[in-house]
Amino acid sequence: MAKIQASGYSPTIKKRALSRKLVELREQCGMTTSEVCKRLHWSPSKLNYIEKAKWVDPNSDAVADLCELYGVSPADTQSLIELTREARQRGWWRKYNNVFRDDFVGLEAGAAEIRTFESVFIPGLLQVPGYIQMVTRIAGIEDPDEIGRHVDARLQRQKILTRRRDPSRLKALIDENALLRISDREVLGDQVQHLIDMSARLNIDIQVLTIADGIYPGTSEPFVHLRFPDPTDRDIIYLETTVDDRMLEEKDELARYMVRFDRMCAAALDPVATYEHLTRLIE
């Protein structure tokens, strides 16, 4: 069996790697999902949750049963069970289920590169506490303790950019509207200064799409593009909407958003010009 790539900081990524490997093993055996469910007396939904990485706590017994059915060697079975244990670990974000409503933050925590476009808000990885408090209140949350949890959760999330070992690389495109909508001058000053400071880091590029430059190509919903250290892991395009969130993984879907992002980068101020523009905003 090919070496299992499960390095990184995120149990969510390890869960994804485990599911991918189990699908590969089933396909190598030439078995359909229906055949697996019939042989193991499982419901179709159980196998679907395993293969789609939707299970909350990966189960070692279920993995062992699949390995036995697929004829996996004892050594490889043990490797997969160890990966199952790692995937079952609780990421820090599990403490904030009322803040983060899906697996996105767990996937983001394991990303090598993050490309994000925002038209209304400052990207979450670049928000300062005052700004987080402001947008949390706008969302209808008034309880001080709950607001504090949102601040703590988002600041914890941002550590992927500043950790000593293999910090994630961030390329952020921000519509200038997101800055001009900050009516509190103190919050605006803190937020812009933070963008300036973060843009000085080698792993972070920030570009602003200015109002003065008019309409830019690809204008539509915000999105995040995640790339992972393991080349066998598919990239993800994440779309957050009021109704639900979507994660796109098909090659044609990824290609469309990558083209959009590149076109917007070409229309935006480059990182040096963005630094100068941001500096003028708080002079």
For each of the domains in the chain, give its residue range(s) and CATH number, in order of start. 11-87 (1.10.260.40), 100-281 (3.30.870)
Q: Please report the pLDDT score of residue 93 as a whole number.
A: 84
What is the C-alpha separation between 95 and 211, in angstroms, rounded? 39
Q: Please report the pLDDT score of residue 271 as a whole number.
A: 97
Q: Please report the pLDDT score of residue 126 as a whole number.
A: 98
**DSSP assignment, residue 213?**
G
Burial class (CB in 10 A: 0-12, 13-18, 19+), 180: exposed
Q: Which residue has the tokens 């996996």?
A: 72
Q: Which residue has the tokens 């996937």?
A: 107
H helices of 213-250, in order, are none
What does each of the 283 residues of the chain score in pLDDT, given as a tens digit? 444 444 455 888 888 889 989 999 999 999 999 999 999 999 999 999 999 888 878 899 999 999 999 999 999 999 999 989 988 888 888 888 888 877 899 899 989 999 999 999 999 999 999 999 999 999 999 999 999 999 999 999 999 999 998 999 999 999 999 999 999 999 999 999 999 999 999 999 999 999 999 888 876 789 999 999 887 788 999 998 766 778 898 999 999 999 999 999 999 999 999 999 999 988 7
Q: Please report the pLDDT score of residue 5 as a whole number.
A: 44
**Sheet hosting strand 223-227, strand order edge to edge:** 204-209, 169-175, 113-118, 223-227, 236-240, 245-248
What phi and psi, each to the nearest 5 degrees, are found at residue 225? Answer: -115, 120
88-89-91 Cα angle (round to 5): 120
Q: What is the pTM of this model?
A: 0.83
